[in-house]
């Protein structure tokens, strides 16, 4: 029973949403069913927060590597949770918007979370540069084509690329860097992106059918295999 019930619920709810999506008279049924997803998501967030606290408490009590950062994580987690949950300093009280300008929650998000997020993304530039250096080395024909295409795309996004080929006559303007940049982005790149998206869609459909039909059982835990 502990396996049959999850399979049955998954099958009924999954196919109900699929049928309702393609059947306008049942559109309201899909909307009502989606409400339960929001309810489940709330409990998932509670479980996620509890798991975060548990893992970091274990790290602190056992003095594992970098346990000091676990203290910072827990302090930040509970601080933001309290000021957001109880709307501390909110001019509208508990009935006001949690992200109202001037509130502690708004200030923490604006002046702490946003700069930290920007810093993390800026660090990705160095990893991308390192990965590009390894990938763009002209070791073979494919790598050479990738190197040339990437160079054109990068130059085409800068004023230097326009200046570099400004001497080309109008009759051969197709060979100017900005025009080559536009061609590569609008034709080969777009075709590749669409092929990837189609492949992802087919993979999602295949995996969804496996879950709905009970072939894939990982969603019910280790004992579902």
Summarised one tens digit per residue, pLDDT across range 171-213 is 787 888 888 889 988 888 899 999 999 999 999 999 888 888 8
How many residues does the structure list for the chain? 225
Q: Which residue has 């346990």 as its token pair? A: 67
How far, in Å, CA of 220 to CA of 168, rounded?
Answer: 63
Name, of 52-56, 89-93, 127-131, 164-168, the range with top average pLDDT.
52-56
- Contact residues for 153 (Cβ-Cβ < 8 A; gap 6+): 181, 184, 185
Model pLDDT, residue 71: 93
Comparing CA positions, the residue from 155, 105, 223, 26 lying closest to residue 147 is 155
The answer to whether residue 2 scores a pLDDT higher than 80 is: no
Span 110-119, pLDDT tens digits: 999 899 988 9
Query: Are residues 20 and 29 in contact, defined by beta-carbon separation less than 8 angstroms?
Result: yes
Look at the pTM and tell me if it is higher than 0.85: no
Number of Cα atoms under 13 Å in the Cβ half of residue 3 = 10
| Mean pLDDT for the chain overall | 83
CB 40 within 8 A of CB 10: no
Q: Which residue has the higher pLDDT, 5 or 223?
A: 5
pLDDT band (50, 70, 90) for residue 219: low
The pLDDT tens digits for 23-79 are: 877 777 777 777 888 888 888 888 889 999 999 999 999 988 889 999 999 999 999
pLDDT of 224 reads 47
The answer to whether residue 140 scores a pLDDT higher than 90 is no
Rounded to an integer, the average pLDDT of 1-22 is 79
pLDDT value of position 202: 95
Average pLDDT, integer, range 209-225: 71
What is the average per-residue pLDDT within 80-89?
86
Whether the Cβ atoms of residue 48 and residue 56 lie closer than 8 Å to each other: no
The C-alpha atoms of residue 162 and residue 155 are separated, in whole angstroms, by 8
Q: What percent of the chain shows pLDDT beyond 70?
A: 94
- Give the span between the Cα atoms of 193 and 200, in whole angstroms: 10
Mean pLDDT of 107-136: 83
């Amino acid at each position: 029973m502990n396996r049959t019930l999850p399979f049955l619920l998954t099958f009924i709810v999954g196919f109900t949403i699929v049928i309702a999506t393609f059947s306008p008279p049942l559109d309201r049924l899909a909307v009502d069913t989606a409400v339960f997803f929001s309810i489940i998501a709330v409990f998932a967030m509670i479980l996620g927060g509890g798991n975060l606290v548990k893992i970091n408490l274990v790290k602190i009590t056992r003095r594992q590597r970098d346990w000091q950062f676990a203290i910072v994580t827990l302090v930040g987690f509970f601080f933001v949770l309290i000021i957001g949950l109880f709307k501390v300093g909110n001019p509208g009280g508990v009935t006001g918007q949690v992200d109202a300008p001037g509130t502690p929650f708004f200030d923490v998000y604006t002046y702490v979370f946003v700069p930290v997020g920007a810093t993390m993304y800026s660090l990705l530039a160095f990893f991308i540069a390192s990965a590009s250096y390894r990938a763009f080395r002209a070791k073979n024909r494919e790598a050479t084509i990738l190197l040339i295409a990437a160079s054109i795309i990068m130059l085409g996004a800068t004023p230097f690329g326009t200046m570099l080929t400004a001497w080309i006559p109008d009759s051969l303007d197709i060979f100017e860097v900005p025009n080559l940049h536009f061609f590569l982005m609008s034709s080969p790149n777009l075709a590749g992106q669409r092929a990837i998206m189609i492949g992802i869609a087919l993979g999602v459909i295949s995996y969804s059918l496996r879950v709905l039909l009970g072939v894939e059982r990982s969603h019910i835990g280790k004992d579902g295999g």
